[in-house]
Structure 1
């Protein structure tokens, strides 16, 4: 009997590619064979961004075309999804056949996808190959998406995914209350919502829904479906899946800063900031009079950042980088706190580093994650918007000052870090679940 061979297909955006690559490295480390499918476009991007280390040679990379022209705008996710769904399913069986022919002993035993790639589970199902989902968001987000039919049936949302009235609900008695205005699909066009509803049905073909989380972080979510299996936190270091070149010079700069003094600011790989908010944030960082690292990402088509710095911005105490080695920054002794959009990958990385959060969610599941950070785990505070919908510079200064003297939040952050990391030690719950999953795949 050969070893289990996983074929991994992420949606080609940074927040999906990263966790699935981390999971692939973890499987490879445990002696499984892993083939990772990039689209041709994102493979080229990740390769240009550099990074190739020995561990990653254990994961084989292959590519499929996404069906778009090279000059098409891939930050239009709806366009990308439709194109992939209409071209890739027909090409996948041949790819599987070629991979199997090259190593007859170790044929593909399981396909793992992230959300919006469920079509690959259908292809696998027809070929008699097992399937699983790796959810790049929290288990709570996945639970809310899985609850859509019931939410419609109970009249809590309409057929477009919009709340019928403003209220707080619980998906299950053991879960925290959730504001109906903050469902993860809010702000999506109808086409996305319809796609999500259909996707959740397709994903039923996956026998397991793997979650990059731990049972302790969101216990209530696991009561909703026996398919949910926590295998997080995923902490393998992968520099082969980044779409932008990381600026590592900021680490040397960090070494020169006093302990727990630096404010780290990053809004992830997708968020596009309103120009007025960008300006307030810049001036807020000046007001703080503390050292800071601010990630100002190039726009998604590779052009320069679209926002102009205000004329009266000095930034003399800080370092502005295009893309950063986030995990290394977060776990650096000089770091004081993390101003974050609360994407799930960033949330977990902050937890694993034991860093307090200042939360400024922008979209989708980030509002749910903020609720956990501020109200459930109590390891951070929210930045409140003023009547014009902007987080003001004064608010930024006030909240950073409050957070940095709050010893209770610091203590809880360190305790949560320990509890979360314990899950991936040898006898930890997530490690046991991983072993169980690999045995199942055999």
Structure 2
């Protein structure tokens, strides 16, 4: 029987790109004899195509058990309801684990869900915020929160000086949520990641020091930052975790075999990989510009387009596309298979 040093409860935001890095971090903790429990929403669990066998999974509610974010109607409505219902169900889970003889010692949470800090404090638990993005992006949202960056930046602002950056950046280089007036409520949520960050014991960043030395050093003067990236399966990094080849948790059905078969028939270093994740939505004119840009680049490409975005593809573009030149997939493609394929 394994004797654990501690019990850590992991609370990710229910999105594939948020869960993957937190799961990889959890595997690292587990290798150090830390018991891991991951709390996922009921809707997310119902739609899982793959589940990890190495960690415990428990369900909480976001208030939308039947439809998740789509049922909420808007992103803001979703996170608002999640705060109300999630706080209660997370508290119930912590109490249940204690009653079962597996008390939680620490909560590692996604700062998209800042209310988790208050739950941790109520139970006198150690807490750590896990930022899934790099430190440069986190730093920009921090300065939006502090009012240092005026909103929205305009194209007339040729350069923006952000404390912690080694040089100025152009307004067009900041995240789109900062630039777009339509994203005001989402930006508010992103900035609010820092609303109670002074209460946490650690701030974990999915990056490594040498990649963003200046900005990490600057942020470390404000928060107790620990860099824990890159969070990818161990076999592609340091091979310290035996048989850690997969993320092992997915809401999508990966199209691994089809993609690998196509990639293996392409020349070495010839393929461009394009993906905007599971949340981003491009306008029709943006999709058209990207499509013809890929076509005119004369490079082979693998483009992941979600089924909900397929209607935005130019019809004449699909007509001229040949299988040997470009491949468009409407289902999930695991990035690591592309990254470690010689054709890329």
TM over 0.5: yes
Change (3 A) 1:7 1:75: farther
Distance 1:197 1:235 in 2: 26
Change (3 A) 1:58 1:100: farther
Whether 2:304 is the aligned partner of 1:314: answer no
3-state SS of the aligned residue for 1:92?
helix
- Per-residue CA deviation, residues 238-285 of structure 1 (Å, 9 max, x unaligned), is 443322211111102212222112222222222222223323433444
User: What residue is the counterpart of 1:426 in the other structure?
Assistant: none
Task: Report the alpha carbon displacement of residue 217 of structure 1 after superposing the two structures with TM.
Answer: 0.9
Distance 1:314 1:201 in 2: 50
Unaligned 5+ segments in structure 1 are 336-442
User: What residue is the counterpart of 1:434 in the other structure?
Assistant: none
User: What residue is the counterpart of 2:237 in the other structure?
Assistant: none
**Equivalence map 1:295-374=2 (5 Å):** 295-299=304-308, 305-312=310-317, 313-316=319-322, 317=324, 318-322=326-330, 323-335=332-344
Matched-pair contact (CA < 8 Å) for 1:286–1:314 = no
Matched-pair contact (CA < 8 Å) for 1:214–1:231 = yes
Which residue of 86, 91, 110 maps to 2:106?
A: 110
Matched-pair contact (CA < 8 Å) for 2:4–2:35 = no
Task: Report the alpha carbon displacement of residue 215 of structure 1 after superposing the two structures with TM.
Answer: 0.6
Distance 1:141 1:257 in 2: 34
Distance 1:291 1:78 in 2: 38
Which residue of 253, 259, 269 maps to 2:278?
A: 269
- Per-residue CA deviation, residues 12-48 of structure 1 (Å, 9 max, x unaligned), is 1222122112211222233211111111111222x2x
Whether 2:30 is the aligned partner of 1:38: answer no
User: What residue is the counterpart of 2:242 in the other structure?
Assistant: none
Whether 2:116 is the aligned partner of 1:124: answer no
3-state SS of the aligned residue for 2:186?
helix
Task: Report the alpha carbon displacement of residue 321 of structure 1 after superposing the two structures with TM.
Answer: 1.4
3-state SS of the aligned residue for 1:306?
helix
3-state SS of the aligned residue for 1:178?
coil
Change (3 A) 1:252 1:112: same
Which residue of 227, 233, 252 maps to 1:230?
A: 227
Change (3 A) 1:298 1:258: same
Matched-pair contact (CA < 8 Å) for 1:282–1:315 = no
3-state SS of the aligned residue for 1:234?
coil
Change (3 A) 1:168 1:65: same
Matched-pair contact (CA < 8 Å) for 2:14–2:44 = yes
Whether 2:152 is the aligned partner of 1:162: answer yes
**Equivalence map 1:208-287=2 (5 Å):** 208-226=202-220, 227-236=224-233, 237-248=245-256, 249-287=258-296
Change (3 A) 1:176 1:60: farther
Change (3 A) 1:232 1:197: closer
Aligned residues: 317
Matched-pair contact (CA < 8 Å) for 2:39–2:58 = yes
**Equivalence map 1:26-175=2 (5 Å):** 26-45=28-47, 47=48, 50-52=49-51, 56-68=52-64, 70-71=66-67, 72-73=70-71, 76-102=74-100, 104=101, 106-148=102-144, 150-152=146-148, 156-157=149-150, 161-163=151-153, 166-172=157-163, 175=166
Distance 1:169 1:309 in 2: 36
In the superposition, the TM-score normalised over structure 1's length comes to 0.65
Task: Report the alpha carbon displacement of residue 2 of structure 1 after superposing the two structures with TM.
Answer: 4.3
Matched-pair contact (CA < 8 Å) for 2:271–2:343 = yes
In the superposition, the TM-score normalised over structure 2's length comes to 0.83
Task: Report the alpha carbon displacement of residue 131 of structure 1 after superposing the two structures with TM.
Answer: 0.2
Task: Report the alpha carbon displacement of residue 126 of structure 1 after superposing the two structures with TM.
Answer: 1.4
Distance 2:107 2:296 in 1: 50
Change (3 A) 1:137 1:321: same
Task: Report the alpha carbon displacement of residue 70 of structure 1 after superposing the two structures with TM.
Answer: 2.1
Change (3 A) 1:294 1:64: same
Instruction: Please give the root-mean-square deviation of Cα atoms over the aligned residues, in Å.
Output: 2.5
